[in-house]
Amino acid sequence: MKKLKDRWGIDSNWQLCIIFLVFAITGSTAAKLASPVVSLLGIDAETSHWAVYWFLRIVLIFPIYQVLLVCFGWIFGQFQFFWAFEKKMLSRMGLSKVFKI
């Protein structure tokens, strides 16, 4: 845990617990929200090919996750950490210029 706290610049175990909680809530919520969004697009698991349905669902989870991560981070008082985390992740993916971050 000490290596992770040093790497992320975290001081307390409580802050680390909150960050883990935000990651867990964000992942679960993004996966849950992807299904209605795919249905809203008119793609259903029963009527569409399984590969199309799951591909779109997984592709939709990524942007939903990114937005929710910052939102939940703000709600739990860890906005600075998650905003820096987002910028670092998007720059590593080469998307920082697209979003002008």
Check residue 96 and give its pLDDT: 64
pLDDT at 97 over 70: no
pLDDT per position as a tens digit, 59-90: 889 889 999 999 999 999 999 999 999 888 88
What are the structural domain ranges in the chain? 2-92
In this prediction, residue 88 carries a pLDDT of 86
Helix (H, G, I), strand (E, B) or coil at 95: coil
pTM: 0.80
At 40, list the tokens. 């809203």
pLDDT in tens, 4-55: 888 888 888 999 999 999 999 999 999 999 888 888 888 888 888 888 889 9
Question: In which region does residue 100 sit, left (phi positive, over 0), alpha (psi from -120 to 50) or beta (all else)?
Answer: left
Look up tokens 């906005």; give the residue.
79
Say how far apart CA 2 and CA 40 lie, in whole Å.
44
For the chain, the distance separating the N- and C-terminal CA atoms, rounded to the nearest angstrom, is: 30
